[in-house]
Amino acid sequence: MWMGQGPSYEEVHEIAKTLEGKTKYRPTLGIVCGSGLGGLGDLVEEADIIPYDEIPHFPVSTVPGHMGKLVFGKLKGQIVVLMRGRLHCYEGYPMWKTTIPIRVMKALGVETLFLTNAAGGINPDFNTGDIMIIRDHIDFAGLSGECVLRGANDERDHIDFAGLSGECVLRGANDERFGPRFLATVGTWDDAMNELAEKAAKELGLGDILRRGVYVMIGGPTFETVAESRLLKNFGADAVGMSTVAEALVGRHMGMKVFGISLITDKCCLDYTTAKVTTHEEVLAIGQKRAKDLQSLALKI
């Protein structure tokens, strides 16, 4: 009997079977669209679009900028499945539930996973609108374990360790049919795909805004205090967001090739004198502004 945190191997394959009954496509590439970056879905040709709420056992998207639809079809001739809307732990889902679609993608035959996100720039040299190839990550959630005090705190100058952390997505009983109990995470982000992404960006004339760096996942939904941004910088993070790492880990757990890019939508404040408030609206607006560049980059890759 399955004693871990769900979903079971059988449930994942049941969902995949349902989807195979709704689309003729058998994708090998999976794409996850970050906040405000769902426009890539419009470029998928001859698409079969399946809303999450029509898929049994599938969590639904609740965040503005995430439509909650699976898009199957062709992108430059390649058969893809694209998540137009991802799931975040802060929406109230346990971490494992946010990655059900990634497990399902693998069951559908997906071998390569392309993750995109909107992120705050921690590296002071990064500017709003920059595109960062994810070289590595910090799984803040997994490093710190599950905190009983998880949630926001409204003091001005604090480090809300609970809000920053969550739980590792692979916590719970392990089914070896998915992957190993202990996952080595060195080399999570595929070097060859990163090289390809860098080359593609340069060819598109995006070299000036191209960065490479370390993405740190925090639990959210609170944006960082100044003290937290400083902490993350000292940890070695270049950009911060509330997603992506759990998906990457689950992808690697199942042997997928993983790569990804972050759009820097705001600069995190490292100084009280210049501190300004970040909003989700601002994040979405920068996504809109850079939409065309990101779509061209994804197509070229």
Ligand X SMILES: O=P(O)(O)O[C@H]1O[C@H](CO)[C@@H](O)[C@H]1O
> What does the binding site for ligand HPA look like in residue numbers (CB under 6 A)?
118-120, 223-224, 240-242, 265-266, 268, 278, 283
What mask of x and - would describe binding to ligand X in positions 75 to 114, judged by CB under 6 A? -----------x-x--------------------------
Question: Which region, judged by CB under 6 A, interacts with ligand X, from 68-76, 125-133, 165-173, 241-249?
Answer: 241-249
- Contact between 286 and 265 (Cβ < 8 Å): yes
Give residue for tokens 């969902």: 15
120 binds, options ligand HPA, ligand X, none, Cβ within 5 to 8 A by partner type: ligand HPA
Residue 240 identity (one-letter amino acid)? V
Give residue for tokens 């939508």: 265
| Residue with smaller CB distance to ligand HPA, 240 or 249 | 240
Distance CA(279)–CA(265), nearest Å, equals 10
34 binds, options ligand X, ligand HPA, none, Cβ within 5 to 8 A by partner type: ligand X
Q: Which residues contact 200 (CB under 8 A, 6 or more apart)?
A: 297, 300, 301
| Residue with smaller CB distance to ligand X, 212 or 280 | 280
Tokens of 270: 């490292």
Question: Which region, judged by CB under 6 A, interacts with ligand X, from 19-27, 190-198, 237-245, 248-256?
Answer: 237-245
Q: Where does residue 100 fall: left (phi above 0), alpha (psi -120 to 50 degrees), or beta otherwise?
A: alpha
Which DSSP category does 189 fall into?
B
Give residue for tokens 């705050």: 120
Which DSSP category does 86 fall into?
-
Distance CA(109)–CA(131), nearest Å, equals 29
Shortest distance (Å) from residue 25 CB to ligand X: 24
88 binds, options ligand X, ligand HPA, none, Cβ within 5 to 8 A by partner type: ligand X
Residue 241 as a binder of ligand X (CB under 6 A): the answer is yes
Question: Which region, judged by CB under 6 A, interacts with ligand X, from 125-133, 139-147, 238-246, 290-298?
Answer: 238-246
Q: How far is CA 276 from CA 120, 279, 289, 294, in A?
A: 13, 10, 21, 26
Residue 131 as a binder of ligand X (CB under 6 A): the answer is no
Shortest distance (Å) from residue 231 CB to ligand X: 18
Give residue for tokens 């993070």: 237
| Residue with smaller CB distance to ligand X, 25 or 137 | 137
Q: Which residues contact 175 (CB under 8 A, 6 or more apart)?
A: 2, 4, 8, 9
| Residue with smaller CB distance to ligand X, 23 or 283 | 283
| Residue with smaller CB distance to ligand X, 178 or 223 | 223
Give residue for tokens 């890019």: 261
Where along the sequence are the contacts to ligand X (CB under 6 A)?
34-35, 63, 86, 88, 117-118, 220, 241-244, 280, 283
